[in-house]
Structure 1
Amino acid sequence: MKYKGKQNMAVMLTIALLAGMIPTTTAANVYATEATRKKLQEAQNEKKETEENLSQTQEELQNLNQEKDSLQGHLHNLNNQLKEVSDNLEELENKISDKEDEIEQTREELADAKATEEWQYESMKKRIQFIYETQDYVMLEVLFASANFSDFINRSDYIEQLSSYDRKKLQEYAETKEQIAAAEKQLEEEKKELDEYKAKVEVEKSRVSGLVGQTSSNIAGKKNEISQAEADALAYEQRIKEQEASISELQAKLAEEIRLSQLAAQSAWRDISEVSFAEGDRYLLANLIYCEAGGEGYTGQLAVGAVVINRVLSSVYPDSVVGVIYQGSQFSPVGSGRLAIALAEGKATASCYQAADDAMKGNTNVGNCVYFRTPIEGLSGIRIGGHVFY
């Protein structure tokens, strides 16, 4: 009985291969579990995103370095300006100091001139007062004291020369006083101009100093941004290495699953009559069907159940419903915990139980397919509902 069943199965496999029901090795890329395909695609997408982030970060890093270099050049120019302003300020301070010395000297000269003026003024005043008060007496004295007329003329000339001298000195003093006053005024104006210019230079120095401080702060900020960008770039590079390792592992796993899928297609299969189902298999299978195809019609639910039973029948996979469903990383609801919730709450519908019953009787609408997943580009197989079976 068992031998005959195996003969029938071999004949069915041969017919299926000739009819194209089971994918050949030329389509090996379709032999992969949904979970592994999904993880590999996600890993490749994450790596691509990380590479894009790295490229963007490297571009930002280049821009930051250019900005830092520009700021450093600006800072160099500002420092030169600050030095020039400081030198100008120092020169101005020296000029102002010299001008103050000149003003002080002029003031001293003016003070001396004033003292001379007062002395000369008092002297002239006394002489003038004497002349006017004793004019008649002097004239008589000059007249009578003169030895002769010539002497009289000489004495008159002397008095006239004395008066002329006094007027001349007074005029010279007045001119000197005016010159000193004018010089003092000019010096005061020059000092005022220097003070105003110095104030402007002080403002310019303060402005340039502020720009130097601000630019230095900006450079420090850019350096911090550069350090952060460099750290981000290193982190992205490290992440890419890790993702490449993960992709390599997933690709190796995918290759192994392809090998197992091909092996399953070529290996011995049991007849459904040789399978002894354990208590609880129906409940477990119905709830897995609910998790994988609960929102689809009966046809899609039967197809999921048939894949599980096909694996039970294949010598490549575990020989029990429990073993197949809980085999590592095969059915996503197991890993996500959705199956455990469905089992705890008894989520399976009557349609799911009907699909489980029919699959456990050996009924299949996907031939000997042992995998299914959501459709992706390049994947061929039997399309039922939202899945491709292969």
Structure 2
Amino acid sequence: MRHNFLKRILGGILTGCMLVTATVHAGTTQKDIDKAKDQITDLKKQKEDAKDQVDSLTNEKQGLESDLSGLNGQLNTITSDMNQLEQQAAQKEDEINTAAEDLKRSEERSAEQYEDMKVRIQYIYENGNQSVWDMLIHASSIAEFLNQAEYTSAINQYDRNMLTAYQELTEQIKEQKKELEKQKEELTVLQQEKQKEQEKVNSLIEDTQNKIQESGEKIEDAQSDVESIDAKIEKMIEYEKQLEIQKAKEDAARLAAIKKQEQENRSNVTYAPAQSDAYLLAAIIQCEAWGEPYDGKLAVGSVIMNRVRSSYFPNTVSGVIYQGGQFSPVASGRLAYRLEQGVASDCMSAAQAVLGGTTTTNCLYFRVNNGIIEGTVIGNHVFY
């Protein structure tokens, strides 16, 4: 009897060592999984930031393209205005040339008229007396003489009128030419101003085009970052999957050892809940099973209570929940946040029911169902 008793004790000690080793491995693997999850979360945040950068740069590029379109419209308007001014300047130049020719002809005719008039006046003065006697002697009548005298006077008056008219026309043409030259100068000033506007807009267009090109290059770089992060996320997801497989193997090995050595009947083990157990249990249920059906919440609570009743886990609710490497919300800080913010009523109801003796599963483990682990599926979790 003594020999058998010692044998059982030694067997228990060896089993305990196996379980401790399995626990260390499981804890290490869970930490790796949690670390991988954190890295994936961080990468997803980086991806969102990179996508935001792509969107921001795209909006900036679209804004620059809109500005460029507006600048091209301004340039077209300026070019059209410059063409019109050029046509007006050419037309004004033609008008000035025409006025100059008219002025030259008017001055020439005025000079000719003046010379003709001088000749006639000189002739009259030099031959005035003889001409009067000749007209009187040769006239057949007084009426004829008077008609000839009136004719001579009319010629003199005509010369004066024509000279005056040519002089006035010359002055008018001079004023017209002067006004045309003034208008041409104004057109030249407008052309110069439009030229400056054109140069300014061309400079803005070139600057905007350079910015658009830079934005395009930045978008390509940012998009490349998104793709690179995507590739990293895929690798990390695959790595996490491998860790999950490894964790499942370790959990299965540990569970097999527990089942092999555990001879107690958990249903006969009683547990007196501490005053804070209900709130703590409700908080971890909400962290692990928020959004799951009520049965899923009860199942999570049952797993925790099964561990409390097992001799291979801590024998308190807080001990099980805070055991190293077992529940990721503990390591990530989500549990502490939930304890601070409060728990949902259905999670509290599930916790109270489980603490009151309701057990919906005999499993010791659960995780998100990824199709790798065989067990009882409730909602999005598999219990095993």
Structure 1 position 186, deviation (Å): 2.4
| CA RMSD between the two structures | 3.6
Determine helix, strand or coil for the equivalent of 2:96: helix
Structure 1 position 107, deviation (Å): 1.3
Cross-structure match for 1:6 = 7
Distance across 2 between alignment mates of 1:154 and 1:11: 167
Query: Kindly tell me: are residues 368 and 127 of structure 1, through their superposed partners in 2, closer, same or farther at Cα, counting changes over 3 Å?
Result: same
Q: Is 2:228 the partner of 1:235?
A: yes
Contact 1:31–1:258 (CA<8 Å) still a contact in 2? Answer: no
Distance across 1 between alignment mates of 2:118 and 2:321: 126
Contact 1:32–1:261 (CA<8 Å) still a contact in 2? Answer: no
Q: Is 2:95 the partner of 1:93?
A: no
Which protein, 1 or 2, shows the higher relative CO under an 8 Å CA cutoff with sep ≥ 6? 1
Cross-structure match for 2:322 = 378
- TM-score normalised by length of structure 1: 0.59
Determine helix, strand or coil for the equivalent of 1:65: helix
Structure 1 position 209, deviation (Å): 2.4
**Structure 1 range deviating more: 42-51 or 235-244:** 42-51
Cross-structure match for 1:339 = none
Distance across 1 between alignment mates of 2:243 and 2:125: 133
Contact 1:33–1:257 (CA<8 Å) still a contact in 2? Answer: yes
Distance across 2 between alignment mates of 1:380 and 1:116: 121
Structure 1 position 233, deviation (Å): 0.8
Distance across 1 between alignment mates of 2:143 and 2:226: 120
Cross-structure match for 1:65 = 58
Query: Kindly tell me: are residues 12 and 83 of structure 1, through their superposed partners in 2, closer, same or farther at Cα, counting changes over 3 Å?
Result: closer
What percentage of residue pairs aligned between the two structures are identical?
26
Within-5 A mapping of 1:212-223: 212-223=205-216
Cross-structure match for 2:242 = 249
Cross-structure match for 2:182 = 189
**C-alpha offsets along residues 116-166 of structure 1, whole Å, 9 cap, x if unaligned?**
122111111222233344444444544555454333322321221011000
| Counterpart AA for 1:46 | Q
| Counterpart AA for 1:6 | K
Contact 2:102–2:173 (CA<8 Å) still a contact in 1? Answer: yes
Within-5 A mapping of 1:1-390: 5-10=6-11, 32=25, 35-262=28-255, 378-379=322-323
Structure 1 position 235, deviation (Å): 0.7
Distance across 2 between alignment mates of 1:202 and 1:208: 10
Determine helix, strand or coil for the equivalent of 1:379: coil
Query: Kindly tell me: are residues 261 and 159 of structure 1, through their superposed partners in 2, closer, same or farther at Cα, counting changes over 3 Å?
Result: same
| Counterpart AA for 2:322 | G
| Counterpart AA for 2:201 | V
Contact 1:32–1:258 (CA<8 Å) still a contact in 2? Answer: no
- TM-score normalised by length of structure 2: 0.59
Query: Kindly tell me: are residues 11 and 105 of structure 1, through their superposed partners in 2, closer, same or farther at Cα, counting changes over 3 Å?
Result: closer
Contact 1:51–1:240 (CA<8 Å) still a contact in 2? Answer: yes
Distance across 1 between alignment mates of 2:55 and 2:198: 33
